[in-house]
Chains A and B, each alone.
Chain A
Amino acid sequence: MSTTLFVGTEKGLFALDSDDRRESWSLRGPMHKGWQVYSLRHVARDRTFWAGLSSRVYGAHLERSRDYGDNWEPVAGSPAFPEGSPRKLQQIWSLAPGQAEGSLLCGVAQAALFASGDGGQSWELNRGLDTHPTREDWNPGAGGLCLHTIVPDARDPNRIYIGISAVGIFRSDDGGASWAIKNRGVQATIPDEDPKYTEINRCVHKFVQDPTEPARLYQQNHIGVFRSTDGGDNWERIENGLPTHFGFPMVMHPRKPRTLFIVPQESDQFRMFPDGQPGVYRTDDGGDRWTRTHNGLGEPSFSGVLRNSMAVDGHDQPGVYIGTTGGEVYASYDEGENWRRLPGLLPRIEALAAIER
């Protein structure tokens, strides 16, 4: 079994194709030359691979491929705000299969969720979120007001979580009709002495659910790393062993419960590896303790890893992949103990997705 690793960048999409042992890799691309690719998603049940393309000049649309990126089809009915809407569709940040057959979800900036019930042909704005009582008080962070993470619950078909930068995590228990804020225990990014809504202004950067224990969620936030053991109702800090509390990406090990990976970075001012020392940090106990892995990561390095730029594949010994803002891709097949650089020096990397073939 080989892996294709799609690499979304600031200037187009690339693909790295491995041999069966993941020893040798070859580079394809660029595809969608000139487009920013912030979101990538393989929907295995439809055998379809999706890319969210955006441009500061031309806006955004979805493309899909059924042959691992050799051919692409632009989606004419891509997510769009209704004409006259005060919101602008700036980037496509997240894609996820919904629980129902043919259901797909898409998160965009300016913060909105779109849903498709026909396999991605057509999309509708989620009104429950768009009319949330706090909506007009959401303010963008440095990366815009982006809905960057969508987590359909691993067991409950009516439960969905979403994450919005500079706002926080929301949970729906009715299939997306209504949304409750789930930020208790997470401090505000910028304290406001007299906020209109005390529950928002929490800058989640990425979060994951442990599919084997769905009540357990983990989030990398602007101000730290947090864990919930009750479906997001309450959060606590889990930062033992970390050099800094700031970072963007977070992925779960696909097979081992309570094992996950993050990439700490030096403060929101600098957004690079601390002191030029790159490290992917792993926990094996649900965040009680983090351990740095770095063997094989080029040092010193003053790049970083963005929120969608870490991925895992589905091999028995899973590959963990990171793509840096300096355009380098690294892979590890032993849970981070050793890293190897994959071919190519690419534009700033915005997203990764791995598919087993």
Chain B
Amino acid sequence: MTSIELRLPSMLASAAGGSTRIRVTGETARQALDDAFARHPLLRTHLLDEEGHVREHVHLFLNEDDIRERLAAELHEGDQLVVLQQMSGGRS
């Protein structure tokens, strides 16, 4: 299992025990997210929609690459998985 850092926007810190950076493990991005969801169930609520897809206005970057459509992407030591809010999702 590969251990990497998951970085979250500050709005999601309370759903992750108060931290915007947590260690997660998995061979793929999806497994790493599932590891985070197992410990912090509200993260699942906030990152995935009712159909289990990444929410429409949430982006997931593995280092420099947007992988919201490629959650099977393999992880390597030192990777960072970053949650970003799509700018079009905001208002006012």
Contacts and interface: CB of A to CB of B under 8 A. Distances in A.
Residue of A10, A33, A34, A85 ringed by the most chain B CB atoms within 10 A? A34
B19 interface: no
Contact of B42 (A10, A74, A88, A348): A74
Given A83-B51, A89-B50, A57 B92 contact: no
Nearest to A60: B45
B63 interface: no
A56 B90 contact: yes
Interface in B12-62: 12, 14-15, 40-42, 45-47, 49-52, 55, 57-58
Given A63-B14, A74-B14, A80-B45, A57 B50 contact: no
A72 interface: yes
Contacts of B50: 80-89
Contacts of B10: 33-34
Interface string A27-63: 0000011110000000000000000000111111101
A58 B40 CA distance: 15
B59 to A, nearest CB: 10
Contacts of A56: 57, 89-91
Contacts of B46: 55, 58-59, 61
A84 B91 CA distance: 28
A10 B12 contact: no
Contacts of B41: 76-77
Contacts of B57: 56-57
Nearest to A84: B51
B11 to A, nearest CB: 5
B14 A78 contact: no
Contacts of B91: 56
B11 A61 contact: no
A59 B11 contact: no
Interface size class of B (residues with CB under 8 A): 20 to 34
Contact of A61 (B15, B52, B85, B90): B15
B11 A55 contact: yes
A76 B55 CA distance: 18
Nearest to B58: A57
Given A63-B14, A83-B52, A78 B58 contact: no
A33 B10 CA distance: 9
A84 B52 CA distance: 7
B11 A33 contact: yes
A74 B15 contact: yes
Interface in A67-107: 72, 74, 76-78, 80-89
Interface of A: 10, 32-35, 55-61, 63, 72, 74, 76-78, 80-89, 348
A-B residue pairs, 10 tightest by C-beta: A58-B46, A57-B89, A57-B57, A34-B11, A76-B41, A85-B50, A74-B14, A81-B50, A57-B85, A61-B42
Given A57-B85, A81-B50, 8 more contacts: A55-B46, A58-B11, A58-B12, A58-B45, A58-B85, A78-B45, A85-B50, A89-B50
13 contacts: A10-B92, A32-B14, A57-B57, A58-B11, A58-B12, A58-B45, A58-B46, A58-B47, A59-B46, A59-B49, A77-B41, A82-B50, A85-B50
